[in-house]
Amino acid sequence: PAVYSLDGLLVFGLLLVCTCAYVRKVPRLKAWLLSEKRGVWGVFYKAAVIGTRLHAPVAVACVLMAVYVLVVK
């Protein structure tokens, strides 16, 4: 049920971007998961690119979302 709410989608998106950016730093996983740039697997590649190029705003968004989930919600 949490996936259907806006904050659940934001948490899922942030976790996807952070995970793919981490996977991009590991050489074996990068070759295995992020080799395709199109199609379904291309979503993971694009999330990894977003996570590595915009690492500061993504980190700030993760901290703000954590505060929101732990304190506000």
1-57 residue pLDDT tens: 555 788 888 889 999 999 999 988 888 888 887 788 888 888 888 999 999 999 999
Whether residue 16 lies inside any domain: the answer is: yes
Count of domains for the chain: 1
Residue 38 Rama label (left phi>0; alpha psi -120 to 50; beta): beta
What domain range includes position 62?
A: 6-72
Whether residue 1 lies inside any domain: the answer is: no
Whether residue 45 lies inside any domain: the answer is: yes
Query: C-alpha dihedral over 53, 59, 40, 1, to 10 degrees?
Result: -160
Record the pTM.
0.81
